[in-house]
Chains A and B, each alone.
Chain A
Amino acid sequence: MSLRKEAARAEHMAGLKAAYPRAFGLSLSQKIRLTAIWAAFFTVLFFSLDYLGVGFTRIWNGLDRMGIIAGGLFPPRSGGAFPELMGALMESVAMAFLGTLMASLVAMVLCFSGARNILPARILRFSFRRSFDFLRGVDSLVWALVYVRAVGLGPLAGVLAIATSDVGTLSKLYAEAIESADKKQIDAIRAGGGNRLEVIRFGIIPQILPVMLTNALYMFESNTRSATILGIVGAGGIGFQLSDRIRAHRWDEVSFIIIMIVGAVFVIDMISRFLRAKLIHAGKRQVL
């Protein structure tokens, strides 16, 4: 009796195994394949690290020095230069603000040339779009170095660098906003006899202005971060002080500056979040 029951159970299990093989673990060939894939992955990883000169002895020696640096970071000290550092930090924030402002003003004009519903000419639009991609694809640190060579050391180079790379980003974002604008309002203006300029002014701009402003604020946030490092190549702001302290191995001042930067980024994020919430709220109220 029980023997028959056991046999029935075994048969039942065999049936289940045949029906749902994946519920009972991997088969041998699958296991081998998986092991082979992981082995290949780790081999490639190992050789890549080796190619880049990452070795255990170098890491070990580096960790030794890293320990000294980490010990030096605490406690943070201003080194008596707090007013100077604060001024440089304000310069970074000012650079980010002016750069974003300039970029969004330029982008508000340029973006129409990248939008399909404004500029139907395909080749022209394509070349505008690719130019935006180019401006955006070159990092602001590269632009900063170029501007330093072209217009000299100082915050002007930083402002222009931020503005240049943001013109690309914002024009692209704005153009996408225009393309996704509601067609009904545009048609209404056109039906009422509005010309091209009036269609843009009364049909499109009211729809995309909140999007433009929130995006500009987002860019201001991220530009505050990049403006703090542009000084490394001499384009103004606190990055110069930071790289200077790092090269002089004054680690306590380095950590002080990093804390200042993190604090400033935090404050700017808060302000920007507040303004964005207000803008979105205002936009909603207008719709109602």
Chain B
Amino acid sequence: MHSDRKNAAVIRFEEDFRKARATQRVQFVLSAMIFVTVVYVSADISQLSAERLWKAFPRMGDYIHRTLPELTLTHFFEDIAYWYYGFWRWLQLLFDTLLIAALATIFGAAGGMALCFPASRNLVKSYWIYFLCRRFAEISRTVPEVVYALIFVVAFGVGPMAGLFAIIIHSVGALAKLYSEVNENVDERPLEALKSSGANWFQVIRFGVLPQVLPHMTTYTLWRLELNIRAAAIIGFVGAGGIGQELYHAISFNYYEDISAIVLMIVMTVTLIDLVCERLRHRIIGEENLR
């Protein structure tokens, strides 16, 4: 009796298991087929073939080899000096790039701050204000910086101003979205307290919301600064200022050793600033957790 019941349970389990395995197998085969089809179609669209890919690698290796500077141990410092013959000019361009990124972050944060409160569902009564602010932020962050830069170069002329405005618009949209998401998770009780003691909307924001969200806003802003530095470094490709323009020329006219020199400078700066920002972010979040 007892063993019969167990057997029945085991049989049922095995049946279920078989069924589950069968459906899993069918699902696997189906998704594998879809995947292979997508790969095939994509390869067809982008004219990619194993043969072309195979031919590309040695060419790439050759190209990278050419960009590498000739460094010898006997004349090491002379070689470095020859490699970095444009060091001071590049340093100034790098400074321009960082300045563009920093200013864009400051203005982006200011714009994001102005936009984020009306774009938070819990802080505005009118659905239309919320909807318009949200959509505005969405539009301005979906279009890449480079596209804005292309348009602004036409409007404002070649130079860092176009790049600055391009990065500002993108940052305003991106930061407004992140800020307003923080605002929507705010503790409502302080806001109620302020409202009941007669505070107007601005006072509720200033004394109720802002103290709660400022640490998160700061971390998001620092993160945006990192992204903006990367953007500012390439915005020069379309003539919008910074070191990108110099890099574009070096690549276009095959000044091989300049390419590696400039890229190395950019990467080192970006990495350094990423590290500093990460430290700062951890410190801010750490303080937040201690409270």
Q: Is the CB of A69 within 8 A of B154?
A: yes
Distance (whole angstroms) from the CB of A260 to the closest CB of chain B: 12
CA distance A49 to B159 in the complex (A): 12
Indicate if A160 sits at the interface (CB-CB under 8 A). Answer: yes
CA distance A160 to B47 in the complex (A): 13
Q: Is the CB of A151 within 8 A of B147?
A: no
Q: Choose among A93, A133, A139, A243 the residue that contacts B234 (Cβ–Cβ < 8 A).
A: A139
Asked if A58 meets B155 with Cβ closer than 8 Å, knowing A91-B46, A98-B42, A160-B60, the reply is: no
Q: Choose among A53, A95, A142 the residue that contacts B159 (Cβ–Cβ < 8 A).
A: A53
Q: Choose among B38, B53, B259 the residue that contacts A156 (Cβ–Cβ < 8 A).
A: B53
Task: Give A134's nearest chain B residue, CB to CB.
Answer: B267
Q: Is the CB of A97 within 8 A of B155?
A: no
Q: Is the CB of B48 within 8 A of A69?
A: no
- B98-106, B188-196, B208-216, B276-284: which lies at the A interface? B98-106
The winner among B42, B159, B160, B233 for most chain A CB atoms within 10 A is B42
Asked if A159 meets B46 with Cβ closer than 8 Å, knowing A45-B106, A232-B237, A243-B150, the reply is: yes
CB interface residues, B 237-267, toward A, < 8 Å: 237-238, 241, 247-248, 251-252, 254, 259, 263, 266-267
Q: Is the CB of B155 within 8 A of A137?
A: no
Asked if A232 meets B238 with Cβ closer than 8 Å, knowing A139-B230, A146-B63, A242-B147, the reply is: yes
> Chain A residues with Cβ under 8 A from B154's Cβ?
65, 69, 246-247, 249
Indicate if B7 sits at the interface (CB-CB under 8 A). Answer: no
Q: Is the CB of A229 within 8 A of B161?
A: no
The winner among B39, B142, B150 for most chain A CB atoms within 10 A is B150
Indicate if A141 sits at the interface (CB-CB under 8 A). Answer: yes
Asked if A54 meets B271 with Cβ closer than 8 Å, knowing A141-B234, A226-B144, the reply is: no
Asked if A150 meets B63 with Cβ closer than 8 Å, knowing A52-B161, A91-B46, A258-B143, the reply is: yes
> Chain A residues with Cβ under 8 A from B43's Cβ?
94, 98
> Chain B residues with Cβ under 8 A from A194's Cβ?
none
Q: What is the 8 Å Cβ interface bit string for chain A, positions 249-287, against chain B (1 contact, 0 not)? A: 100001000100110010000000000000000000000
CA distance A94 to B154 in the complex (A): 30
CA distance A261 to B146 in the complex (A): 14
Asked if A229 meets B144 with Cβ closer than 8 Å, knowing A51-B99, A62-B155, the reply is: yes
Q: What is the 8 Å Cβ interface bit string for chain A, positions 107-143, against chain B (1 contact, 0 not)? A: 0000000000000000000000000011001110110
Q: Is the CB of B103 within 8 A of A52?
A: yes
Q: Choose among A66, A151, A246 the residue that contacts B150 (Cβ–Cβ < 8 A).
A: A246
Q: What is the 8 Å Cβ interface bit string for chain B, positions 146-163, against chain A (1 contact, 0 not)? A: 110011101111011100
Q: Choose among B106, B157, B251 the residue that contacts A146 (Cβ–Cβ < 8 A).
A: B251
Indicate if B96 sits at the interface (CB-CB under 8 A). Answer: yes
Q: Which 10 A-B pairs have the closest CB atoms?
A: A94-B42, A155-B46, A62-B156, A150-B63, A137-B267, A94-B45, A52-B160, A151-B56, A66-B155, A65-B155
A-B pairs with beta carbons under 8 Å apart, 17 shown = A45-B106, A54-B164, A58-B157, A62-B161, A90-B45, A91-B45, A91-B46, A98-B42, A98-B46, A137-B271, A139-B233, A141-B234, A146-B251, A154-B47, A159-B48, A229-B147, A254-B151
State the B residues within 8 Å of A (CB).
38-39, 41-43, 45-48, 52-53, 55-56, 59-60, 62-63, 96, 99-100, 102-103, 106, 139, 142-144, 146-147, 150-152, 154-157, 159-161, 164, 230, 233-234, 237-238, 241, 247-248, 251-252, 254, 259, 263, 266-267, 270-271
